[in-house]
A and B are shown apart, each in its own frame.
Chain A
Amino acid sequence: MAKKLLIPLVVFVALVGFLFAGLFRDPREVPSPLIGKPAPAFTLAQLHDPAKTLGPTDLKGQVWLLNVWASWCVSCRDEHPLLVELGRAKIVPIVGLNYKDEPAAGLKWLAQNGDPYSVSVVDRDGRVGIDWGVYGVPETFIVDKAGAIRYKQIGPITVEALQTKILPLVRELQKS
């Protein structure tokens, strides 16, 4: 048997190996380089009371969520009812990062759709978003008691993500 006739077979076997490995991975899961790192610091004005500010240091000692949202963001409407429910359950404080938005438009949006946030802060020019590695709205981060980022959800929160990933991790972090 001529060896060169085996080339197609060898190429194909390698391909099948990769395809098999690919079956057990989620192509939508994008890792964040910030996982496990301290949450980037910021001091931003609060949406409802611009005279007051808030930053990660103010939240040390508790587990909290940072949810990046904007009034212009269409997918935010998808996840919003879930966030409102989560906020009402008072399981974990949710800080809203109002990203590249007009504060007036943001306030109006919250009045219309419900306000799940303990506090919303205003990141008008998106500088904090850059530090946190935000590249699409909405995104949601889980920050632990020591102030380190433990999880990042890209895109809207789904019921499945909430039940299988976010809530279990929050409970585990709250216990430690």
Chain B
Amino acid sequence: MIPELGQFSLILALLLAALLGILPLAGAQRRVGAWMALARPLAAGQFVFIAFAFGCLTASFVANDFSVLNVATNSNSQLPLHYRIAATWGSHEGSMLLWLLMLGSWTAAVAARSRHLPDEMVARVLGVMGLVAFGFLLFVLLTSNPFERLFPPAADGRDLNPLLQDPGMVFHPPLLYMGYVGFSVAFAFAIAALIGGRLDATWARWSRPWTTLAWSFLSCGIMLGSGWAYYVLGWGGWWFWDPVENASFMPWLVGTALIHSLAVTEKRGTFKAWTVLLAICAFSLSLLGTFLVRSGVLTSVHAFATDPRRGVFILAFLALVIGGSLVLFALRAPKVGGGGRFDTISRETMLLANNVLLIAAAGSVLLGTLYPLFLDALDLGKISVGPPYFDTVFVPLMTPLVFLMGVGPLARWKRSPLPELWQQLRWALAVSVVTALVLPFIAGTWKPRVSFGLLLAFWIVASTVVNLLERGRGVRGGVLVQLTRQPRSYWGMIVAHLGIAVFIVGVTMVKGYEIERDVRMAVGDTITVNGFTLRFDGTTDVRGPNYRAMRGSFDVSRNGAPFTTLHPEKRLYNAGGQSMTDAAIRKMLTGDLYVSLGEPVEGDAWSVRVYHKPFVTWIWAGFLLMAIGGLLALSDRRYRVASRRDEAVLPGGATAGN
């Protein structure tokens, strides 16, 4: 019964999405107030029915209802409760439903938090989001029904892929999708502005918090995904340039560009057409990512079931949504008009350069991801593009970007004299160069690449310090008092930029100094890695809730003194018979000690991987700081004040349904 209710609820959501996609948009065009006023209740209703459907699927998983095909293929009666819940989005069908839940939530959130916006704008924004939801609801109902029954019911389920039975996997997809789908808000605002012909600073101010929020979620999602790969795949890598990873990274790059260009549009009224195009691109890349992952046009370590019908459907939808938006853009953008003028050396120029570099980076990731497909389609052969390509392309693009990150925030709008910038930044440059040259010696061996990476990181830190000092200079009360008066959005920028510095330190140190040892170890054997001595004390059999495991025991001492004991596991899952490596990691601020069991060799000996990964945690800490920076900027007073002031001006405005 519950699955049928879920499916019925999805059909109702489809009908509401259809209405939401038609009436408010038509109402805004013909100025019919009643039709426009339907937008909010329809958005709320659509959310309720999608959420109910999602709840039904979760309930089927929790109740082990193996008469539902999706539950039978992705769960098992021995699976612990939290993974049964996470299994709701462990399959293709379930993850599409999660996608819809996120879209429904964002739509409902816009409906609830848009009281200060003109009715026409709200109607158009929600209408566009309704159209997107309609397409995806249709996709789920026609090609990927999560509620399909299995007759006769299975005695037990086939179990969730062991790779997905991990705490990171519980949170990674929801956060990633929150980010992906969140760009639909910026997209809807851009389309609404193009239709209405109203593209100005206020439009940018409305879009900004939504974009920043989506971007922060996406940053967290990427961070969790990378961390998951690090300790679940068992070989200590944290980023593989896999098509599926790239699919989440491209919207992030374009989203980063969008955040910066929205700032220019809001503050200076320029870059309008460009900003609109970026908003369209960010969401388009989210859709493209969904297509790449779901259609199986590319091979990837993230193996998903593929079905050409699904691919054709998403591609058609993609063509319609993105193609339509780009046509609208080509038609309407000329009317948008230019903005204020600015000099060659000004904050505008630097932000434009930032945008160009970020787009070039996103473009090269796209090229690298799709290149095998291009060649294959042209019958030029089969190839695969790997990390060497991406590493070669990425560093030269990121270097000027990091340089600009130091200069841009200090530059003035419109015109910024070079001598003044030089005056402010020469010490930052000197300090970062000297530190970058000296520090690798202390770490052990001097390597040019490490020195270069550290230069980039220290440049960001030093120029940020200069920025903080400049902000607080020459005002009564001193630097500290002045700094406490800075708006949260300023602090958001500072924290996010420092996050990049922390990230660069992590990447540089890992790439420069990591030690990887693949060795054969019998009981009693020792190995020394970077001052840590590990002694293999053999394995014991342990039983988990739904697996049996060989648990290794490694006694670790540091420079002779006892330090810790590590227990990596080799698990064999009962239901599917799949084996999994569970690495044991000792985390430290300056680096991880990483041990994982390979295969049993002979007797009681095992092949063992022992890694030392210096500063690897900093990679994820950097991303976390960026996300925190985004949230800080979001909590800025002016967004709250703006909405409160508008509420006071328009008492009881169109708030039906809230």
Q: Which residues of A contact B (CB under 8 A)?
A: 1-2, 5-6, 8-9, 12-13, 15-16, 18-25, 27-28, 30-31, 74
Contacts and interface: CB of A to CB of B under 8 A. Distances in A.
Given A12-B323, A12-B326, A74-B599, 15 more contacts: A1-B331, A5-B329, A8-B277, A8-B281, A9-B327, A9-B330, A16-B318, A19-B297, A22-B297, A23-B295, A23-B297, A23-B315, A25-B297, A25-B376, A30-B382
Interface residues of B, number: 34
Interface string B382-393: 100000000000
A150 B389 CA distance: 34
Contacts of B296: 27
B377 interface: yes
B291 interface: yes
B326 A16 contact: no
Contacts of B327: 9
Interface in B317-345: 318-319, 322-323, 326-327, 329-331, 333-334
A22 B299 CA distance: 11
A16 B323 CA distance: 10
Contacts of A12: 284, 322-323, 326
Contacts of A27: 296-299, 372-373, 376, 382
B563 interface: no
A23 B376 contact: no
Nearest to B334: A2
Residue in A15, A24, A28 whose Cβ sees the most chain B Cβ within 10 Å: A15
Residue in B277, B312, B377 whose Cβ sees the most chain A Cβ within 10 Å: B377
A12 to B, nearest CB: 6
B311 interface: yes
A12 B283 CA distance: 14
B294 to A, nearest CB: 11
A22 B373 contact: yes
Given A16-B318, A18-B377, A22-B377, A5 B330 contact: yes
A9 B382 contact: no
A25 B322 contact: no
Contacts of A1: 330-331, 334
30 contacts: A1-B330, A1-B331, A2-B333, A2-B334, A5-B273, A5-B333, A8-B281, A8-B326, A8-B330, A9-B326, A9-B330, A12-B322, A13-B323, A16-B315, A16-B323, A18-B374, A19-B373, A20-B312, A21-B377, A22-B376, A23-B295, A23-B308, A23-B312, A25-B297, A25-B377, A27-B296, A27-B298, A27-B372, A27-B373, A31-B382
Given A8-B326, A24-B308, A19 B291 contact: yes
Interface string B270-290: 000100010011001000000
Contacts of B330: 1, 5-6, 8-9
B59 interface: no
A74 to B, nearest CB: 8
Interface string B93-107: 000000000000000
Contacts of A6: 330
Contacts of B431: none
A15 B371 CA distance: 11
B439 interface: no
Interface string B544-561: 000000000000000000
Contacts of B370: 15, 18
A54 B333 CA distance: 73
A20 B315 CA distance: 7
A6 B599 CA distance: 56
A23 B377 CA distance: 10
A104 to B, nearest CB: 13
Interface string B630-654: 0000000000000000000000000
A75 to B, nearest CB: 13
Nearest to B330: A5
A34 to B, nearest CB: 15
B408 to A, nearest CB: 26
B228 to A, nearest CB: 23
Contact of B299 (A5, A18, A21, A28): A28
A21 B295 CA distance: 12
Contacts of B298: 22, 27
A74 B578 CA distance: 13
Contacts of A21: 377
6 cross-chain pairs, A with B, having the tightest CB-CB distances, nearest first: A21-B377, A22-B297, A9-B326, A5-B330, A27-B299, A22-B373
Contacts of B277: 8
Contacts of A5: 273, 329-330, 333-334
A22 B281 CA distance: 22
Contacts of B299: 27-28
Nearest to A31: B382
Contacts of B334: 1-2, 5
A15 B315 CA distance: 11
A31 B381 CA distance: 9
Contact of B329 (A8, A13, A20): A8
Contacts of B333: 2, 5
A19 B313 CA distance: 12
Given A1-B334, A30-B382, A18 B373 contact: yes
A18 B334 CA distance: 30
Nearest to A30: B382
Nearest to A5: B330
Contacts of A13: 323
A16 B374 CA distance: 11
Nearest to B273: A5
Nearest to B599: A74
Nearest to A19: B315
Contacts of B273: 5
A1 B336 CA distance: 12
Nearest to B277: A8
Nearest to A15: B370
Contacts of A15: 370
A93 to B, nearest CB: 31
Contacts of B323: 9, 12-13, 16
A164 to B, nearest CB: 16
Contacts of B295: 19, 23
Nearest to B376: A25
Residue in B295, B308, B326, B370 whose Cβ sees the most chain A Cβ within 10 Å: B326
